[in-house]
Structures are given as C-alpha cells and as structure tokens.
Chains A and B, each alone.
Chain A
Amino acid sequence: MSLFLPKLSCKKDIDDAIKSVAEKVLVLRFGRDEDSVCLQLDEILSKTAHDLSNMASIYLVDVDTVPVYTRYFDISFIPSTVFFFNGQHMKVDYGSPDHTKFVGSFKTKQDFMDLIEVIYRGAMRGKLIVQSPIDPRNVPKYDLLYHDI
C-alpha cells in the first residue's frame, strides 16, 4: 500500500480524474491494496511517480468500490493498469492477448518509466495504440478469460 499515491473510490472521482488530467498520461491501477502483486506494483508506481510527474498522473482504484468500471474495462485479473490521455483510452501492445490494459506488476521501475514515455510520445503524435518497449519476457503471462463462457 502506498501512502503517496492518491486513491479514487467512486465512479465520480474516476470520471473527474479522466476529465481533468490534461496533456499528461492518466494511470489507473485497478486492484486491492492488500494483494501481494498489487503491493509490488504500487511500490514501483509510487517510487517513479515523482520522476514521471511531468508526463503522468497515477491513481489507485479499489475494484470492489466501482463495479461499473470493473465491468466496463473488463477487469478480470488484478492488478490491472489502464492508461488514458486527454480522456482517450490508450492501447498498448505488450505481446500479450489484451492490449487494453496492463495485467500484473512490472519487473523493474525502468520498465514502467519506459512504458509511460512511449505512451506519452505516441499520444503527442496522435497514436491511440503504441508498441510496448518492455521485453516480452518481463511481461506477466496470463490466459485471457473468454467472455460469456
């Protein structure tokens, strides 16, 4: 659990965050504070938040508090990290089945910073989907749960 990253606990807060963050990448971490992988991820997020402050704003969201978005964003694994830029969803191809969010934690802080930078540059050039700079071996593997089965 991070003491420094702001938390959002209702749909309205998330809406406000999406609408208000301007010209920076919005990072929404969906998970639970007690979960071990989330703890790992949160640590990386909080340690890099200051260095990335000009490019990104990071928020933590507890999945139990906002079921609407949990369903809307198809969050099946935690932690899941979703990226926005100026109210638009940014997709990233990590080499994994799901491009709409990042599942799991990062191996190093540098991986996360590189990813943020790539998303930022892509957004500035008008791209809604970018290629992840992280080595695919460091990206957590998961099987995508099929819908409606």
Chain B
Amino acid sequence: MGAFYCSICRKTDFSGKGHIYGKSHQSKLKVILVKFTEKVKEARRTIKNPQVEKYSPHHEEKFWCYCCALEVQKHVTDSNISVLYGGLLEHMSTPEHRTNTHKFWWDNKAEPKLRDKFIITEEETERFKSEVSKALEQFEEKEDVLIKQQAAAIRSQEQHRLEVLQSLLEVCFPGMLQAYPYLSTQEQINRICYFSGNVHTGAVPPWLLEEPDEASSSGQQEMGPSLQEFLKHKEQEKLKKLPPNRVGANFDHGSHTDANWLPSFGRVWNSGRRWQSRHQFREEEAKTRGKRKREDVGKATKKQKDLSNGEL
C-alpha cells in the first residue's frame, strides 16, 4: 500500500489498512480518547452555567484537537475578563470540526458511540451564548460594587487622617491664633492641612505661595555675588594657577608702609641676609645724619661726586 504516518501511535506504518485494527493502535486510541473526553466533559458542564472570571495568564492556554490536528484556544478572553471553555465549545460547534471528527472516527476505527460527545450541537451553542451574556452582566455588577466599596474605604481613611492632623495642630500650634488673627481657628487649621496637599491633589507648590508679610519689604534683593566679588574671584582663580613656590608668593601687595619703608634688597657690599642690608643701610643713614649735624652747609655738594656716567 504505502507508508503512512499514524498520528495516534506516532509511528510510520507499512502494513496498510490493517494497522488500525491492531491491538496497540486501539489501546493507544482508547487512552487518547479518555483524556480528550475529560476535557470536553469539563467544558460541557459550563454550558448551563458559564463562568466569567477576571483575566489571568492561564486563560491563554491552548489544547490539541486530535480530530482537526490543530491547537485551539481553550478559553475566550479579551485581556480583562474571560469566559472559561468558551474557545473549546466554539471550536467544537464548527462544521469543519464536525467533518473532521467523522473522518477521524472512520480512519481510526474508534467507538462510534463516543463520537457524539466531541461534537457540540447548535442548540447547545445557543444555550451557551445566552447563559454567557447573563453571566457577563452579573460579573460586571459585582465588579462595580467592589470598586465602590474600595473608594468608600479610601475616603474614610483620608478623612480620619485629616481629623487626626487637625487635632494635633490644635494642640501643638496654639500660636497660630496670633499669627493669623484674621482667620478663624478652623480656617487656620484648614490652611495648614491643605498646604500639605500634594501633586496628585493639584495643590499649589510652596515656593509659589505668596508671602504677604515678609520678604518683599526689603525690595529687590539680588541673588548671588556682586560684580566686584565676581571679578575678585576671577583674579584669585588666576593666582591659584601660578606656581606656589614663586618668588614673593606671599607678598602682601596691599599693605600700607610708612615713609621709612625699604624694600628687600641685597646690597653690593653686604654678603649676609637681605634684612642685614637694610639694617646696614639704616646704620649708615644714622651715621651720616649724625655727621651732617656736626658739619655744616658745605657738605651738600658731597653727594654729587658719587655719580658719574658709566664708562663705556
């Protein structure tokens, strides 16, 4: 005859038409049918009493229909609610499935009595559909009730919190009366309470609230450093970049010195520290001043001799 693949035994067979009458084929067939029947029985139970549930991932499951050799969705869902076994029932009521089932029974020589269980008639389908619409309505009503309960619970919680806050404020801030004398106690508390509103209640953010008594009395206050300070800062930044061990790094450029101040100078005839040069000079000055007091006017010319043009 030829080779054909028996999907029940999951074997290639060369014995032709005789295979389906064989013991192993029939026993495997029975096992399969038992399993399949279970699934269908479950589905049939819901025809009269469909179950509508909230969506869960397990509702995406599929099952294998042996007759059509297809994977079919078991339940019907629209991602929010699901009708259990809706898919299965719908598939089994299609005419294609009917023909496939007949074919399957004829090819595999199964018990004909069992065949009808796997087909769902039109009456059953109609019945199922009406029951489903009723069930859907009931489900939605239940959902509404639940939501309303939750909303009421949240509202009561919020109210309770507000009351607690108000009572606490009355205790802790008796001074509010003086600060806002033009408001009643209740309004003051309300003010404070509603300041604590948040983004979700659409409350005004605190930094945009008008302060009626403070701040604006001092006029336009500028923020940040003034121009002078900024320029000074820039100069200081430049100074920081210079090498720290440079000559005179710690020299105070702004210090006020008196008329007798002499800079740090290393003199020609002084091979000691720099301050010794200054010391030596001051001594010399003292001496020459002493000398001049003793000698008289004529010595004024003495200085001019020292200076002459460089010999070049």
A residues lining the B interface (CB < 8 Å): 11-12, 15, 18-20, 22-23, 35, 37, 63, 67, 70-79, 82, 84-91, 98, 100, 103-104, 122-128, 140-144, 147
Determine which of B254, B265, B310 lies in contact with A103 in the assembled complex, contact meaning CB atoms within 8 Å.
B310
Asked whether, in the complex, the Cβ of A142 is within 8 Å of the Cβ of B248, the reply is no
The 8 A-B residue pairs with the shortest CB-CB distance, nearest first, are A86-B248, A77-B310, A126-B245, A123-B247, A87-B251, A88-B248, A86-B251, A89-B265
Asked whether, in the complex, the Cβ of B259 is within 8 Å of the Cβ of A86, the reply is no
Please measure, in the bound complex, the distance between the C-alpha atom of A103 and the C-alpha atom of B308, giving whole angstroms. Answer: 12
CB contacts under 8 Å to A, within B269-293, are 269, 274, 281, 284-285
Is B225 among interface residues, defined by CB-CB distance under 8 A? Answer: no
B residues lining the A interface (CB < 8 Å): 239, 242-243, 245-249, 251, 253-255, 257, 259, 261-269, 274, 281, 284-285, 303, 306-312
Please measure, in the bound complex, the distance between the C-alpha atom of A22 and the C-alpha atom of B255, giving whole angstroms. Answer: 13
Please measure, in the bound complex, the distance between the C-alpha atom of A84 and the C-alpha atom of B253, giving whole angstroms. Answer: 13
Asked whether, in the complex, the Cβ of B257 is within 8 Å of the Cβ of A15, the reply is yes
Please measure, in the bound complex, the distance between the C-alpha atom of A22 and the C-alpha atom of B252, giving whole angstroms. Answer: 10
Asked whether, in the complex, the Cβ of A73 is within 8 Å of the Cβ of B310, the reply is no
Nearest CB on A from B246, distance (A):
5
Asked whether, in the complex, the Cβ of B261 is within 8 Å of the Cβ of A142, the reply is no
Nearest CB on A from B282, distance (A):
10
Determine which of B246, B262, B281 lies in contact with A126 in the assembled complex, contact meaning CB atoms within 8 Å.
B246
Asked whether, in the complex, the Cβ of B247 is within 8 Å of the Cβ of A90, the reply is yes
Please measure, in the bound complex, the distance between the C-alpha atom of A91 and the C-alpha atom of B247, giving whole angstroms. Answer: 12
Asked whether, in the complex, the Cβ of A86 is within 8 Å of the Cβ of B308, the reply is no
Asked whether, in the complex, the Cβ of B262 is within 8 Å of the Cβ of A37, the reply is no
Asked whether, in the complex, the Cβ of B243 is within 8 Å of the Cβ of A124, the reply is yes
Q: B308 contacts which chain A residues (CB < 8 A)?
A: 76-77
Nearest CB on B from A25, distance (A):
10
- With A100-B265, A100-B267 known as contacts, the answer to whether A86 contacts B246 (CB < 8 A) is yes
- With A22-B253, A76-B306 known as contacts, the answer to whether A124 contacts B262 (CB < 8 A) is no
Asked whether, in the complex, the Cβ of A104 is within 8 Å of the Cβ of B266, the reply is no
Asked whether, in the complex, the Cβ of B249 is within 8 Å of the Cβ of A100, the reply is no
Q: B268 contacts which chain A residues (CB < 8 A)?
A: 74, 98, 100, 144, 147
Asked whether, in the complex, the Cβ of A125 is within 8 Å of the Cβ of B246, the reply is yes
Q: A79 contacts which chain B residues (CB < 8 A)?
A: 310
Asked whether, in the complex, the Cβ of A125 is within 8 Å of the Cβ of B267, the reply is no
- With A72-B281, A74-B269, A104-B310 known as contacts, the answer to whether A84 contacts B263 (CB < 8 A) is yes
Asked whether, in the complex, the Cβ of B251 is within 8 Å of the Cβ of A88, the reply is yes
Please measure, in the bound complex, the distance between the C-alpha atom of A22 and the C-alpha atom of B235, giving whole angstroms. Answer: 12
Q: B251 contacts which chain A residues (CB < 8 A)?
A: 86-88
Asked whether, in the complex, the Cβ of B310 is within 8 Å of the Cβ of A89, the reply is no
Determine which of A20, A35, A100, A124 lies in contact with B266 in the assembled complex, contact meaning CB atoms within 8 Å.
A100
Asked whether, in the complex, the Cβ of A76 is within 8 Å of the Cβ of B247, the reply is no
Please measure, in the bound complex, the distance between the C-alpha atom of A1 and the C-alpha atom of B239, giving whole angstroms. Answer: 35
Asked whether, in the complex, the Cβ of B310 is within 8 Å of the Cβ of A87, the reply is no
Please measure, in the bound complex, the distance between the C-alpha atom of A12 and the C-alpha atom of B258, giving whole angstroms. Answer: 9
Nearest CB on A from B244, distance (A):
9
Q: A124 contacts which chain B residues (CB < 8 A)?
A: 242-243, 246-247
Please measure, in the bound complex, the distance between the C-alpha atom of A35 and the C-alpha atom of B312, giving whole angstroms. Answer: 13
Nearest CB on B from A86, distance (A):
2
Asked whether, in the complex, the Cβ of A89 is within 8 Å of the Cβ of B255, the reply is no
Q: A77 contacts which chain B residues (CB < 8 A)?
A: 308-311
- With A72-B267, A140-B310 known as contacts, the answer to whether A89 contacts B274 (CB < 8 A) is yes
Please measure, in the bound complex, the distance between the C-alpha atom of A11 and the C-alpha atom of B312, giving whole angstroms. Answer: 29
Please measure, in the bound complex, the distance between the C-alpha atom of A79 and the C-alpha atom of B312, giving whole angstroms. Answer: 11
Please measure, in the bound complex, the distance between the C-alpha atom of A79 and the C-alpha atom of B309, giving whole angstroms. Answer: 8
Of the listed residues B249, B262, B267, B309, the one surrounded by the most CB atoms of chain A closer than 10 A to its CB is: B309
- With A18-B263, A85-B248 known as contacts, the answer to whether A75 contacts B307 (CB < 8 A) is yes
Q: CB-nearest residue of chain B relative to A129?
A: B266
Please measure, in the bound complex, the distance between the C-alpha atom of A71 and the C-alpha atom of B251, giving whole angstroms. Answer: 24
